[in-house]
A and B are shown apart, each in its own frame.
Chain A
Amino acid sequence: MGRIFTVFQYSVLQNVRDVGVSIGQMLVLPIVLILILGLALNPVFQPKTIGATKVGYLNEDRGPIGSLVDDFLARPEVQELLAVRAVDSLAAGHELLRTGEISALIHVDASYSRLVMAGERAEIQVIGHPGRSLEVTMVETVLESFVCGGNAVQAMVAMGVSQPRYAPAVGSIQEHPISARGLMPNAMGYYAVTMLVMIMMYGSLYSAYTLKRSYLAAIGRRIKASPISPLEQYIGVIAANVVTVFTQALIIIAFTRLAYGVSWGDNLPLVLLIVFVMAVLSAGLGAMAVMAAREESRAHSFLNVIIVVFTFIAGGYIKVSLPGALAHLQYLSPNYLAQTALFNTIYHGSSRQTVLMLAGMVVIIIATFTVAMLVERRAVQ
């Protein structure tokens, strides 16, 4: 145990003294990247209000149901969503659609009340602007609620209820604010997580470097000739890298929390557990690369490529939606697993998914260390 601690102690000391990497690359770089990306891409992450959708309204029905449609559209809660403008004719409505002054035209046919009361199929027509599908959907959804209410009243009459009244309830929908402290990150919060995970992945280069130096190269061989066992030596070096990367991650978390106001949620122990597992995973990845390559520069090249690929497919640089089966590729990315686990923890997502992501990370850790040990054992023979 004492010898493991000696290797650990002096490996940490060397990691810390490598100022260019330990401070420049592993701390300053991510902190600056989070700031730049967080500020530059913040508008993309801000939820927008689409306001009241402008609609034209032509009601040719003079019957009782037609007037109910008038009343419905005049309700304040509907007017928050739809800015209704009466038109004289279908042609006038079409003209407004063409010029883009309205996003949709609502048309109630003259026979609407008659058909409804006769129990026949009746329709309220929505003519949408082809370039404004979101707004058209909004109008359709609002009218759908009216139709559903009408259908409910008809069903009640059929069941013998006399004079049922359709009065939509107000306040039955709760509004959840969307913010960094709520259910979805802003740009700063998003990139704090993705850049943290990315830079921890770059921590694998520490493993490749220190294992090459302290395990495979001349000093490593000299250490192996001492009373320490290869396993103790290996554990000491890996533990030093895990602690170094984990500590750097803690500094980034603390700095982004205090300086940028990034939310790391209210379950800090779980966040730290995920970050620690990620530090171990990063060390395992570096160990596997250098043991397989037996040479630092090739291991570094390999790691530099896969870190960029993993970060990209995990949406680390910018959110990506991979189509179809390609989406499953994300599960191969340690970045994706760690990011998903962190986002779920910080923004109160599915705890089951967090556990699954952590399990995936543990599987990768076992795989990388197993490959590293098998390759090393073969090399010693």
Chain B
Amino acid sequence: MLVEMRNLVKRYGDTLAVDNVNLEIAEGEVFGLLGPNGAGKTTTINMLIGLTKVDGGEITIFGKRVNGHREEVSRHIGIVPQELAIYEDLTAAENVTFFGKLYGLRGSRLRENVHWALEFSGLADKGRQFPRKFSGGMKRRLNIACAVVHRPRLLIMDEPTVGIDPQSRNHILTSVAELHKQGTTIIYTSHYMEEVEELCTRVAIMDQGRIIAQGSKEELKELVSSEDTIVVELANVNYTLVEEVKKIVGVKDCVLRDNTLTVQVARNSPVIGRIVDAITGTGAEVVSLSAERPTLESVFLTLTGKTLRD
């Protein structure tokens, strides 16, 4: 495992901010950490990178305990903080160079990496400009360039797409996918569930300082439902069709309301063709058909009782 957290605890006075958290993240994963505000995500990340003292438990990264090897471990970690953490009065290239130097890059390797990081972030032609003239999205991309300049093995991204334009957001999501392809392990927190759905290979859901569920996206969806829902809009409805559809093996339930037929089927059952045949066999016409599966949003809602933006 690249990252291991064992029985991690953090208290602020009487408040238990992180409560006995256990997590394992394998090399090459894009790991999503989800949770409402105040769930303990940022505290967990701050403990991971050594910014907050651990009150209990242990963190191991790259096989080394963070406590006692912080400098060595942090060399291979990149941080994209939630807040913009760039200098407005240094040029984009100077910002990236500054962080490259902090991570020990020098000479031609530094120049090459700075050039790569700016290109990677889509800022290659903005290197000599000051960030105060950048849009919010460009600043976010520079925020990322500063984090990847040293080509880290582990990249921690805390809400990297907050408050930016769709173009920059797409660029960032593409960049994350590209880094994943290159083998970088990524820990990704976001309020945007669709980003996590798209990018992450595994997800942990935090609430009130605890990990309440973790696993692959499919495993989490299994937690809340083992069924898929097929919704069919109909014309010329024949009221015998409900009975016909219910006869199909794999169909667990079927309800007709107005001209909409909602069918519950076992997860991944190949029954759509047979349902369409049954409907048309009764003389009804299919206007539209859609298959709905549980989303991470619905998983989150079911597990925590609140939406991610609560």
Contacts and interface: CB of A to CB of B under 8 A. Distances in A.
Interface in A341-362: none
Nearest to A3: B102
Most chain A beta-carbon contacts within 10 A, residue among B49, B50, B98: B98
Q: Is the interface of B mostly helix, strand, loop or mixed?
A: loop
A236 B210 CA distance: 39
Given A10-B98, A218-B81, A227 B87 contact: no
Given A3-B101, A6-B102, A225-B51, A14 B87 contact: yes
A221 B75 contact: no
Contact of B90 (A13, A218, A227, A228): A13
A14 B89 contact: yes
Contacts of A213: 87
A227 B85 contact: no
Interface in A216-245: 218-219, 221-229
Contacts of B71: 227, 229
Interface in B72-101: 72, 74-75, 77, 79, 81, 83-87, 89-90, 94, 98-99, 101
B248 to A, nearest CB: 56
A219 B87 contact: yes
Contacts of B188: none
B104 interface: yes
Contacts of B77: 225
Contacts of B103: 226-227
Contacts of A14: 87, 89-90
Given A14-B90, A218-B84, A380 B101 contact: no
B102 A227 contact: yes
A6 B104 CA distance: 10
B53 interface: yes
Contact of B53 (A3, A221, A224, A381): A381
Interface in A113-127: none
A222 B81 CA distance: 7
Contacts of B146: 222
Interface residues of B, number: 27
A221 B102 contact: no
Q: Is the interface of A mostly helix, strand, loop or mixed?
A: helix
B102 A223 contact: yes
A2 B101 CA distance: 8
A18 interface: yes
Interface in B159-212: none
Interface residues of A, number: 23
A17 interface: yes
A171 B83 CA distance: 79
A228 B102 contact: yes
Contacts of A3: 101-102
Interface string A192-213: 0000000000000000000001
Contacts of B84: 218
Nearest to B49: A225
Nearest to A222: B85
A73 to B, nearest CB: 75
Nearest to A221: B51
Given A6-B102, A224-B51, A219 B86 contact: yes
A362 B106 CA distance: 37
Contacts of B72: 227
A229 B99 CA distance: 14
Interface string B23-63: 00000000000000000000000000111010000000000
A3 B99 CA distance: 10
Contacts of B87: 10, 14, 213, 219
Nearest to A214: B87
A228 B70 CA distance: 10
B101 A6 contact: yes
A312 B146 CA distance: 46
Contacts of A6: 98, 101-102
B140 to A, nearest CB: 13
A228 B98 CA distance: 12
Interface in A1-27: 2-3, 6-7, 10, 13-14, 17-18
A356 to B, nearest CB: 41
Nearest to B130: A17
Interface in B112-155: 146
A229 B90 CA distance: 22
Contact of A226 (B83, B90, B94, B99): B99
Contacts of B101: 2-3, 6
Contacts of B53: 380-381
A217 to B, nearest CB: 8
Given A6-B98, A10-B94, A10-B98, A225 B89 contact: no
A219 B85 contact: yes
A6 B103 CA distance: 11
A226 B53 CA distance: 16
B86 A226 contact: no
B79 A18 contact: no
A351 B90 CA distance: 45
Contacts of A226: 74, 99, 102-103
B139 to A, nearest CB: 12
A227 B84 CA distance: 20
A229 B53 CA distance: 15
A71 to B, nearest CB: 80
Given A6-B98, A10-B94, A221-B85, 11 more contacts: A2-B101, A2-B104, A2-B106, A10-B87, A218-B81, A219-B85, A222-B81, A222-B85, A225-B51, A226-B103, A227-B72
24 contacts: A2-B104, A2-B106, A3-B102, A7-B102, A10-B87, A10-B98, A14-B89, A18-B89, A218-B81, A218-B85, A219-B86, A219-B87, A222-B85, A222-B146, A224-B50, A225-B49, A225-B50, A226-B74, A226-B99, A227-B72, A227-B75, A227-B103, A227-B104, A228-B102
Interface of A: 2-3, 6-7, 10, 13-14, 17-18, 213, 218-219, 221-229, 380-381
Task: Please name the 5 residue pairs, one residue from A and one from B, whose CB atoms are nearest each other, closest first.
Answer: A218-B83, A222-B85, A218-B85, A6-B101, A225-B49
